[in-house]
Amino acid sequence: MFIVNVEGAIRKNNKWLIIKRSVEEEHAGGLLSLVGGKVEQEGDSSDILERAVKREIFEEVGVTIKDELNYVYSTSFVAESNVNVVDIVFLCEYESGEAFPKSPDEVEEVLWLTTDEILNHLEAPTYLKESIRRANLYIQIQSL
């Protein structure tokens, strides 16, 4: 069994919406991250991943994203609590709202960073850098 986690790579004016996770968070506390969270059980449901990423983004940072989401990639890992996690990253287009730590027990700080700033940031874990590289590549391919 896996926990399913979704993350949104949100871009606005050539910058990515990145959070610094609360140090209280069980997984990756204090590190930089995309916004996201666990998919909740709903029984029979359509578009559950897409709705989950929209919900998590709004709950954590108060931002609304557009309806069209693009799959970037997925990974799996074992969390500190020894739980298996499948993580799915979506490219999201910003729609409205002023990003702020709406859920301070999960989000310590909200940052808008360029690709280079993320790739060179000391608090950006390898998996965040990989997500940004892949999301950026997706954007480049779509613009050809």
Q: Please, what are the domains in the chain?
A: 3-142 (3.90.79.10)
Mean pLDDT of 110-114: 97
User: Cβ distance 114 to 32 under 8 Å?
Assistant: no
Evaluate if residue 43 carries a pLDDT over 90. no
Q: What is the rounded distance in angstroms from the CA atom of residue 8 to the CA atom of residue 66?
A: 11
Evaluate if residue 64 carries a pLDDT over 70. yes
What digits encode the pLDDT tens for the residues 83-111? 999 999 999 999 999 999 998 888 999 99
